[in-house]
Amino acid sequence: MDRFLTADDLAKSLRNDVYEGLTGTPKTLPPKWFYDERGSALFEEITKLEEYYPTRREREILVARAAAVAEATGARTLLELGAGSGEKTRLLLDALAGTLRTYVPVDVSGDFLEEAAAGIAADHPGLDVRPVVADHERHLHLLPGGERRLVAFLGGTIGNMPPAERVGFLGGVRATMSGGDFLLLGADLVKDAGRLVRAYDDAAGVTAEFNRNVLRVINAELDADFDPDAFQHRAVWDGAEEWIEMRLRSVRDQEVRVGGLDLAVSFAAGEEMRTEISAKFRRDRLEAELGAAGMEIAEFWTDADGDFSLTLARP
């Protein structure tokens, strides 16, 4: 397995992210640290919630359009950023079976990747499965080249990046592309604010637990003493930026020690720390951002209700 990211790199970037985030105003934490084992399990639960439509809507589009993706791309290599092991990957691999030679799942977590890659290799004996441990925001240029590559970035995770970061990311993807390559991009769409907020603040409180879990990750990794129960989950729709913000609101004045950083941080009662943005898109915004990165839309598909989108883009 290619490894462009060592455990030491990860530990360093966690330290940087947490230091920068907790000493900034307002305080923030990057969402990539949500996904320890408990966080990943909680996210799996979120995907099954009635209020959280994106996963099932994206699956609906893939069931309807995977054959069209295969037809349009004739892909020989599939690079999946933030590799799922789930049904969406299998839908794509089955549809691409006629032309696909190589599957490159890319993820920051080596353990998860090893398991997912082994499962896929077992189910697709003829396929060359080459997992890569990398950060898709930094290592795109190191990913395997080849003819007729399809880069898949699904789930709407592009929405975790603010606009400036998205420009860099899409530019980075474009820089790896040549004629015959494609990008398959899953992006959640703008809709009624009430539905959006409920998708990030479900009645059962699973998303609230998912959000607070990042405090447990920091306690464990950086010897901190956050009390997750002293923070309330908030999901807010920012109509100007057209993104959902997940925040953790300090229920009282409190001081938190982060031993691993030799840092003490104070929170005022009511102070809100931002833990994630999840940007929502319109077709014209996607067209403009892909265009700015030197790509054009070959196909733009949505589910029947127009909740979610799958875009096939080419250089």
Annotated binding site: 52, 82, 88, 107, 160, 200, 276-278
Query: What character string, x for contact with ligand AVJ (CB under 6 A) and - otherwise, covers 206-245?
Result: -x--------------------------------------
Does residue number 157 form part of the binding site for ligand AVJ (CB under 6 A)? yes
- Does residue 276 interact with ligand AVJ by CB under 6 A? yes
Q: Residue 132 pairs with which residues in a beta bridge?
A: 2, 106
Q: Which is nearer to ligand AVJ, 243 or 267 (CB)?
A: 243
By beta carbon distance, the residue nearest ligand AVJ is 278
Cα gap 238→235, rounded to integer Å? 10
Contact present, 163 and 286 (Cβ < 8 Å): no
Near ligand AVJ by CB under 6 A: residue from 153, 200, 243, 281: 200
Between CA 290 and CA 296 the distance in angstroms is 6
SS3 content of the chain, % helix, strand, coil (to 5): 45, 25, 30
| 278 vs 302, beta carbon nearer ligand AVJ | 278
One residue of 21, 30, 39, 54 binding ligand AVJ per CB under 6 A = 54
CB 16 within 8 A of CB 145: no
Query: Which part of the chain contacts ligand AVJ (CB under 6 A), choosing from 56-64, 123-131, 153-161, 292-300?
Result: 153-161
Q: Does 30 help bind ligand AVJ (rule: CB under 6 A)?
A: no
Question: What separation in angstroms does the CA of 164 have from each of 33, 96, 161, 293, 309?
Answer: 20, 33, 8, 12, 21
Residues that bind ligand AVJ (CB under 6 A): 46, 54, 155-157, 159-160, 200, 207, 276, 278
